[in-house]
Amino acid sequence: MSEQQPGPLHRGERRCNGFSLIEVAIATAVLGAVLLATAMAFTSTTRATDQARRTTDAAIFLEATLENVSGQPYENLLTLNGNTVFDETDADDSNYSVDIATFLAEVNLVQVTATLNDLETGRVIGRVNTLRANR
């Protein structure tokens, strides 16, 4: 048997020996765009998860601080005005602070305002107002 030599192409015939450079470039660009979108989604999800964790930690700290304030005798509440409580022993190591403001709203009624601050970003996360009556 003799081997057939490839002859000239006739009209409408094509020889396909693989991908062209343009096809490879387009496939690489599409793959790169998909990988970039996946990486951006992963980064965004990681950032959102970290922010949610920080917000939860801050809320727990604020709740613990308010529990400590509620345990104080009525007579001591006005002395808390202007105090700042940190989530760590040292202000430099802390992530959050709670600024406490108290004032006499009426006779035998003290208003306590606790402002939660994120020390990393410098923004106020939340504020709680509560009233405490002299029993």
Using CA atoms, how far residue 79 sits from 57, 101, 125, in Å, is: 27, 10, 24
In the chain, the number of structural domains is: 1
> Within a domain: residue 38?
yes
Judged against a pLDDT cut of 80, whether residue 22 lies above it is answered with yes
> Within a domain: residue 3?
no
Higher pLDDT, 134 or 10: 134
Tokens found for residue 41: 């989604």
Q: What is the pTM of this model?
A: 0.69
- pLDDT score at 62: 95
Judged against a pLDDT cut of 90, whether residue 1 lies above it is answered with no
Residues 6+ apart with CB under 8 A from 124: 115, 116, 117, 118
Question: Which of 10, 27, 9 lies closest to 18, judged by CA?
Answer: 27
CB neighbours (10 Å) of residue 57?
Answer: 13
Question: Which of 125, 124, 135, 118 lies closest to 70, judged by CA?
Answer: 135
pLDDT tens-digit map of 29-55: 999 999 999 999 999 999 999 999 999
> Within a domain: residue 96?
yes
